[in-house]
Structures are given as structure tokens and as C-alpha cells.
Amino acid sequence: MTIRSFKTSFPKIDARAYVDDSAAVIGDVHVGEDASIWPMCSIRGDVNRICIGARSNIQDGSVIHVTHRYSGLPEGHATLIGNDVTVGHKVILHGCTVEDLCLIGMGSVVLDGAVIRSKVLLGAGSLVPEGRELEGGFLWLGRPAKKVRELTDDELRWFAYSAGHYVKLKDDYME
């Protein structure tokens, strides 16, 4: 695996987290307990920070980056991912916030300053534009993402199930 510093920032990866050998984790990146980073992910905290919460999973080919600080945006945009989040294959998260218990569908793109509130199901291939906030408890879908409907009880339970499944899977890989 490629885990390396950028200038004076070195990733902090919990001892119970899994990072696949083919993933790149660079700079100011925090990976929480029981989180998992799967093959071919690029997680680059070079010009701002990235935090990935406990039991969250970042699936194959996903890219996570940040927005640098500049005069028009003195804090830039970090990328913050809460607990129990499933990020599907080939997702791009850039300078955004994803709160707890979300599922970001395969191939989705979430841009700078966007906030995805807890318990959002973002359908595959969706685009969340800069600065957009998605209300929790709903399925969002499309390019740009639009609120489609309220989530069912089964869908709401799926968030914790999916995160738990990936904890078990990463434990198998770590054996």
C-alpha cells in the first residue's frame, strides 16, 4: 500500500482499519476504527484534510480530494466522511461533507462545499453540485441530484447493515 506523507502531514490510520495494498493514502488523512479503503482508491489530503469515520468503507476506484485554501475561501474545503458510510465503487468526493449513515452510489460525484446529511441514499451515477445540501431520510438521484422520495424503513436499516458487512469483510482481509 502507498501510505505517505505530504510535507509535514502523515496519514493517521486506526490499527483496526484496513487499507488495501493498491490504495494511495497521502497527507493529512485520518481513517477511523474499522474503516476500510479498497483497491485502487486515491485519498489525497495534500492541501486540506480528509477524515473518514469509524466503520465507513471507501470502495474500489474511488477518489477523495480536497479544496485548497485561498483568498476567496480562507478555509478551503476539507472532505469529512462520518461514521457508517458506504461509498460505492468509482465515487468522487471533493471538498465535501458526508454525514453518518449514508450510502453514496457507484459512480457518483459530490463537489466542493456540498453537504450530504445523515441517512441519505444517493443513487448511482448522481452528481451533487457545489454548495448543495441534501436533506436526510430521502433517496436522491440524477445529474444534478434531485429528491426522489422518502426512504423506507428497510432502506434506513440498510445503512448500518452495509457498514457492518464491510467491517466483517475487512476483518477477513486482515487475517
User: Has domain 2-174 been given CATH number 2.160.10.10?
Assistant: yes
Q: Average pLDDT per run of 10 along the chain, which is 175 residues long?
A: 92 98 98 98 98 98 97 97 98 98 98 98 98 98 98 97 98 96
Strand segments (E) across 105-159: 109-110, 115-116, 121-122, 127-128, 133-134, 138-141, 146-150
Q: What is the rounded distance in angstroms from the CA atom of residue 133 to the CA atom of residue 116?
A: 6
Q: What is the rounded distance in angstroms from the CA atom of residue 67 to the CA atom of residue 44?
A: 11
Question: CA–CA distance from 54 to each of 30, 41, 80, 147 (Å)?
Answer: 10, 18, 12, 27
pLDDT of residue 87: 98
The domain segmentation of the chain, as residue ranges, is 2-174
pLDDT of residue 47: 97
Q: What is the rounded distance in angstroms from the CA atom of residue 9 to the CA atom of residue 26?
A: 8
pLDDT of residue 1: 57
Question: pLDDT per residue over 25-76, tens digit each?
Answer: 999 999 999 999 999 999 999 999 999 999 999 999 999 999 999 999 999 9
Q: Which three cell numbers stand for residue 23?
A: 490504495
Amino acid identity, position 103: L
Enumerate the β-bridge partners of residue 140: 122, 147
